Structure 1
Amino acid sequence: MLRFVLLIIAVVGLSGLPASAQLPTGPAGGPQRVAAALVAEGPVAPAESVALALDFRPEKGWHGYWTNPGDAGLGMTLDWDLPDGWTVSDPRYPVPDTLLISGLMNHVYEDPYGVLFAITAPSDAEPGTMVPIAVEANWLACSDRLCVPERARLSATVRVARASAEATARFDRWRQALPAPLDRPARFEEQAGSIRVSIPLPNGVALTEPHLFVEQKGVVDAAAPQRVLRQDGAVVFELQRPSGAQPLPSRFDAVLRLDEAGNGLAFTTEPGSVAPGGTPLDGAAGGLALPWLLLSALLGGVLLNVLPCVFPILSLKALALLRHGANEATARREGLAYTAGTTLAALGLGGLLLALRAGGEQVGWAFQLQEPVVIVLLALLAMAITANLVGLYQFAIPGFGARGSKAGETRGAFATGLLASFVATPCTGPFMAAALGAALLLPVTQALALFAALGIGLGLPFLLLGFVRPLRRALPKPGAWMERFRRWMALPMGLTALALAWLAWRMGGWTLLLGTSVFAAVILALLVRAGMRQQSGRPAVAAILAAMFVGVGAMLVTPHLVGEASAERDGVLPTQPFSAEALAQARAAGRPVFVWMTADWCVTCKVNEATAIETESVKQAFETADVVVLRGDWTRRDPAITRYLTERGSAGVPLYVWYEPGKPAENLPQLLSSDTLIHRAAR
């Protein structure tokens, strides 16, 4: 009761404050209990935006409030004073904490926090001018015994410049405290006196202190206990409705707190069917999830070494140590440099993936292979490496060639690791799916740790070779066989080049294939000329540089060569194109559904299709069971497929999902067998 009285006093006092106040004030004109300041991240270019922040600093024992303060408290109100043409966005709050006092739930901040905005300059803003920005802010500061209305006229100056400011450390900390946007909505279903909210979340994402904050007041009883259940690919909250509540809105916004560190997800909920049941979540059960995910990423990286485009690189790098009689120090140094290269490349690709997704792009793992220019570049690179392996010319392919100084050897090993990591990303293999799927929703630091583990796993075989002497001794002694082995390694690399040329045809039609072939022929001719000059003892640098310039020209011309993609493939298994509507219709008809997500650049996908999916025995079993097959082609970027992959906890392909009528979806193994599919159809 005391809390309600204090709240009424606070509201009345807040409404009676004079609008002309210019300075921050607390109780009776004293100091603020939650001090505030308005700060800008830096200058802003015309027609662009820059970040603003309200920097709040509560005194010890006091707290401020989230946009929905909960059962008590008061949200912040703002009245902006902006120059003509300038606009400011809605506020973005960090993930709040819960504070239960006398049975009332409060959504609060007890530590310093920042509320972020984006202010946009008009296109006619004059560079060099200093623009004053001001806001009349009203907020409530509370302790466990007292609430005080506070207000201030806060101001800042923004400079107009020709280029916007770069991110600063302080604003980066505030951004990291914001809930990450979930790229698809959750579903809610009303029941007697409660609602069930289903949030798409991969099983590998740990939930150590989950709590659902609903932004709109009156939707749920904030103080009532929240029941949390795990389902396949989702987490379900059962929330109590307040007594005498108004009808539910058509949609509402919410924030899911994941853990005690304040990491969270922001999303919109829409009406829909929520599957019954689920496994009640033990608050401590998710604590070991990250270590297991890191182990999965590490093992997945190790298995990437068997890909036909990576194995020759790893093998020849290992034989280079034998050929040059590497001592213990050299072997360790090169092992560390190679692994640093694979790790840095994986971190770079992973960081770019997270940045693109944060910017609203629907992308997944191996997103770069969905771009024709990358495919053409890789095809030309594979062709050049093949020509080198068969002896048409000599070139210091990083780590394979000229050895001399320690620094040169280390740089060569590092560059080889970068190359191996870049060409090893066509698929998510065994162990990788859960780890990379979770990385799309985990906090940035944890997600980058998973990508780093993947890179370390890719470099681990060579790292062990460098540090474990018995492994090096187990390799055959140097001899003439090494040159024959080197030429044999041209076979998988040459097949990789042909596969990439085929992929160029699949992605861009005959025009792109013809263009790729012409560029490859010119580069090959230049490399052969370089080899002839090398055999006669003359310099070949000019010919090799010319080949590189042709490769750069190919990258610039490729976007203009992309034509109509090749016709859809004719397979053994009758399929329909994947769409959410087709999936819903098939399930509504009560038929089994097999969802098959693939891409032409995915090696694992093609192996599964040839050995397990596109077989007569599977076709007959599916026809008997009346199975609907929905095939999603992710060769080129497709936002609908990306959303579905993320919803099923996968960052890439292959992905196979089985829907039994009336039962939850089941993710099938990434390495399929015909027996697996026939067994599902016969159930």
Structure 2
Amino acid sequence: MRRFCLWIAVLLNALVLLAALPAAAQAPTHIKAELIAESRSVAPGGTVTLAIRMTPQAGWHGYWLNPGDAGLGIELALEDARMKPLFSLGMLQYPVPQTLVVRGLMNHVYEAEYVVLVPLRVDARASGAFPLAFNARWLACTDKICVPESARLVLSPGITIKPATNPAEDRDMRFDGWRAALPAPLGTPATFAIDGNRLRIAVPLPASVAIDQPHLFVADEYQVKYAAPQRFLRDGNLLVVELERAKDAPPLAALGAVLRLAKGPDGLAITAAPGPVPAGGTPLSQGPSLGWLLLSALLGGLLLNVMPCVFPILSLKALSLARAGESETQARAEGLAYTAGVMLACLALGALLLALRAGGEQVGWAFQLQEPLVVAALLLLAVTITANLAGLFEFSVPGFASEGSPQGAFATGLLAAFVATPCTGPFMAAAMGAALLLPVAQAMALFAALGLGLALPFLALAFVPALRRRLPRPGAWMARFKLAMAVPMGLTALALIWLAWRVGGQWFVAALLFVAFGVLIQLTRIGLAQRLGRELGKWQWAAFIALGLLFCLLLPATINPPRQSESSILSAQPFSESALASGRASGKPVFLYFTADWCLTCKVNEAAAIEREETRAAFEKADVVVLRGDWTRRDPAITRFLTAQGAAGVPLYIWYPAGGGAGQQLPQVLTPALLAELATKTRTD
């Protein structure tokens, strides 16, 4: 449909130009075309190479053989039909193109001078001198307008056909440089396989060949989604490329493509036939090594312990070791059980995330917090823990108040991981982003390292007696400390109420508060029965069951997420691929940031560095375009963009300098002056 609309637009433009300019072929063009012959003489039955040198004006571009989502390459034909029996044109040979995304459409273009070579074959019966003229057509575009252009290209004095010719006598030496810009043919054929909505190509390429920012340009139109992220993997001396197929792609018997090896003219011309393609491989990345990613995941998990919803659980569980006395066996058993619970929860969450992505779901880290019912379950859990810490009732499993046990420690580990892993903090971004691209075994190793980091403080207390001896001795103060820990957990419950409104709407929050209030009343009754030494009656258990049924039946029907988004003093526009392309095409600097209401790091950064008067003033002076991607609720477009940037979740901050330069990922923890300094530097430059 895009291509059809483009042709309609081109036709209308052509009609307007023809009406206004009868001599359109002679009109000035935005891309100047010149025809050059490598040699002026050729033997009968031989071939001479022609060059079409295209020189775009500033801001204009031409197109490759397959222009991508929109555009048109060069069309060349002999002007005199009587010459066709004597001369025939071969396939046009293009240099390696560039990628250009305009309003969400991926184009394969040339923004500077480029030369297209074309072989001209001469019939064996031909003889004499022939002045030759060709009609050429192409499309010249900027990021806002496209103009169909044409020219009459003349070879004067023409081509001389004679038997005893020596092409080296008058050969144009510039052709050596122009041929060097063409993609080199790959001597060994590649293979491809279609796997659902993916096209996978195995390219024989020695592992020693350096590759930096590769891109595969598919010559066959309508086969792939050009703007979709491309994935590159290494399997020994094979480079595996994974592309997303286009909807209703036609059958594919053979595949032609150009593999760009780096940001520049280096490329390989590939021909692929159906055949085996390795299922796995190591993702091609210039990023950190696996060892560094494992360390990042470990440190990221360690920092999760200071989150307000995790610290009360961890601190009280740590104090249970002090109550346990000097029993090394008991302390170590609790430490190992707690670690097992944490790591099991992290591995289960990671496996679910990878399985959903393998099934085609656009999800990322903390995807569970985009589901209203998961938020509801977390809120009821936070209310229950807050009530326990406040002393409304005693909850011996997982052992917050009484002497610990391995079973209680294991349950505590599950609980701590469940409430902590939705967060993304420093060190975690690279590790979790890589986990979405690495093979399953390596990805699961990263999730395990995250869990180990989260469990590490309690594990250290369990196995290092010197650390346990530094813990305060049991006493009456522990009851007061427990009560104090109810404050951050209660604040967590309040934050979850706000998040529930953001993901589920006001009626969802009202129904959830009704259920939470009922749970709180029942927990208070249970606590009263515990203090009086009574056992829970059947009616109390029935009340809990009724609340559970109410939770299952009432809440899903009330989900209606609000449409409004948060206001910003930066006048941020909602993120979309087209908005980003438009912002970059304007030549202004662009600040793109992704956030979510459940992301604590995001909110801290927004308060400390983004939503500041100093930042607003600097952005206004530098005329910065601000785009905001809200990932509070599931958004496949945002998830795809995050994945393409190597990020598993939020926050993500990208600065695009003025003039359309490459984007720069900023740190996940922003300093107050960072954005203002970037804007000021842009203005002075």
Aligned partner of 2:621 in structure 1 is: 624
Contact 2:571-2:626 within 8 A present in 1 as well: yes
Aligned partner of 1:383 in structure 2 is: 383
Letter in 2 for 1:680: L
Question: 1:155-554 counterparts in 2 under 5 A?
Answer: 213=190, 215=192, 235-236=213-214, 249=221, 251=223, 256-260=232-236, 264=240, 266-268=242-244, 276=263, 289-325=289-325, 327-403=327-403, 409-540=405-536, 542=538, 543=540, 546-547=543-544, 550-551=547-548, 553-554=550-551
Contact 1:186-1:269 within 8 A present in 2 as well: no
- The whole-number CA distance in structure 1 between the counterparts of 2:265 and 2:461 is 46
> In the TM superposition, what whole-angstrom CA distance separates every residue of 1:255-280 from its partner, at most 9, and x where no partner exists?
84424398955214899999935999
- The whole-number CA distance in structure 2 between the counterparts of 1:353 and 1:261 is 30
1:608 paired to 2:605: yes
SS of alignment partner, residue 215 of structure 1: strand
Contact 1:185-1:268 within 8 A present in 2 as well: no
How high is the TM-score relative to the length of structure 1?
A: 0.63
Once structures 1 and 2 are overlaid, which stretch shifts more, 286-295 or 296-305? 286-295
SS of alignment partner, residue 344 of structure 2: helix
Contact 1:372-1:507 within 8 A present in 2 as well: yes
Query: How much has 1:565 moved relative to structure 2?
Result: 1.3
- The whole-number CA distance in structure 2 between the counterparts of 1:396 and 1:552 is 25
Query: How much has 1:214 moved relative to structure 2?
Result: 6.1
Contact 2:386-2:489 within 8 A present in 1 as well: yes
SS of alignment partner, residue 332 of structure 2: helix
Query: How much has 1:639 moved relative to structure 2?
Result: 0.2
Contact 1:186-1:268 within 8 A present in 2 as well: no
- The whole-number CA distance in structure 2 between the counterparts of 1:277 and 1:540 is 74
Query: How much has 1:539 moved relative to structure 2?
Result: 1.1
SS of alignment partner, residue 657 of structure 1: strand
Contact 2:216-2:259 within 8 A present in 1 as well: no
- The whole-number CA distance in structure 2 between the counterparts of 1:473 and 1:185 is 63
Query: How much has 1:679 moved relative to structure 2?
Result: 1.1
SS of alignment partner, residue 267 of structure 1: strand
Where does the alignment leave 5 or more consecutive residues of structure 2 unmatched?
1-103, 117-178, 194-200, 247-256, 268-282
Contact 2:320-2:402 within 8 A present in 1 as well: no
Aligned partner of 1:639 in structure 2 is: 636
> In the TM superposition, what whole-angstrom CA distance separates every residue of 1:121-175 from its partner, at most 9, and x where no partner exists?
xxxxxxxxxxxxxxxxxxxxxxxxxxxxxxxxxxxxxxxxxxxxxxxxxxxxxxx
SS of alignment partner, residue 540 of structure 1: coil
When the two structures are aligned, how many residues end up with a matched partner?
472
> In the TM superposition, what whole-angstrom CA distance separates every residue of 1:298-356 from its partner, at most 9, and x where no partner exists?
11110111111011110010011112325111111111111111111111010000000
- The whole-number CA distance in structure 1 between the counterparts of 2:533 and 2:587 is 74
- The whole-number CA distance in structure 2 between the counterparts of 1:633 and 1:212 is 45
Contact 1:215-1:252 within 8 A present in 2 as well: no
- The whole-number CA distance in structure 2 between the counterparts of 1:635 and 1:556 is 24
* Pair 1:575–1:403, CA change in 2 (3 A): same
Contact 2:594-2:653 within 8 A present in 1 as well: yes
* Pair 1:223–1:468, CA change in 2 (3 A): closer
Aligned partner of 1:675 in structure 2 is: 673
- The whole-number CA distance in structure 2 between the counterparts of 1:575 and 1:285 is 32
- The whole-number CA distance in structure 1 between the counterparts of 2:402 and 2:234 is 51
How high is the TM-score relative to the length of structure 2?
A: 0.63
Once structures 1 and 2 are overlaid, which stretch shifts more, 325-334 or 518-527? 325-334
Contact 1:357-1:363 within 8 A present in 2 as well: yes
Letter in 2 for 1:438: A
SS of alignment partner, residue 673 of structure 2: helix
* Pair 1:287–1:441, CA change in 2 (3 A): closer
1:648 paired to 2:635: no
SS of alignment partner, residue 488 of structure 2: helix
Contact 2:190-2:204 within 8 A present in 1 as well: no
Letter in 2 for 1:580: E
Query: How much has 1:567 moved relative to structure 2?
Result: 2.9
| Equivalent of 2:664 in 660, 663, 666 | 666
> In the TM superposition, what whole-angstrom CA distance separates every residue of 1:23-51 from its partner, at most 9, and x where no partner exists?
xxxxxxxxxxxxxxxxxxxxxxxxxxxxx
Q: How large is the Cα RMSD of the aligned pairs?
A: 3.8
SS of alignment partner, residue 505 of structure 2: helix
Question: 1:97-176 counterparts in 2 under 5 A?
Answer: none
- The whole-number CA distance in structure 1 between the counterparts of 2:419 and 2:221 is 49
SS of alignment partner, residue 320 of structure 2: helix
Query: How much has 1:236 moved relative to structure 2?
Result: 1.2
| Equivalent of 1:592 in 589, 592, 614 | 589
- The whole-number CA distance in structure 2 between the counterparts of 1:285 and 1:561 is 45
SS of alignment partner, residue 441 of structure 1: coil
What is the percent sequence identity of the aligned residues?
A: 54
Query: How much has 1:536 moved relative to structure 2?
Result: 1.2
Where does the alignment leave 5 or more consecutive residues of structure 1 unmatched?
1-183, 198-210, 242-246
> In the TM superposition, what whole-angstrom CA distance separates every residue of 1:171-198 from its partner, at most 9, and x where no partner exists?
xxxxxxxxxxxxx99986687666889x
- The whole-number CA distance in structure 1 between the counterparts of 2:385 and 2:504 is 24
Letter in 2 for 1:508: G
Contact 2:204-2:237 within 8 A present in 1 as well: no
Letter in 1 for 2:234: L
Query: How much has 1:229 moved relative to structure 2?
Result: 5.9
Query: How much has 1:490 moved relative to structure 2?
Result: 0.2
* Pair 1:212–1:500, CA change in 2 (3 A): farther
Contact 1:595-1:629 within 8 A present in 2 as well: yes
Contact 1:341-1:414 within 8 A present in 2 as well: yes
- The whole-number CA distance in structure 2 between the counterparts of 1:224 and 1:517 is 60
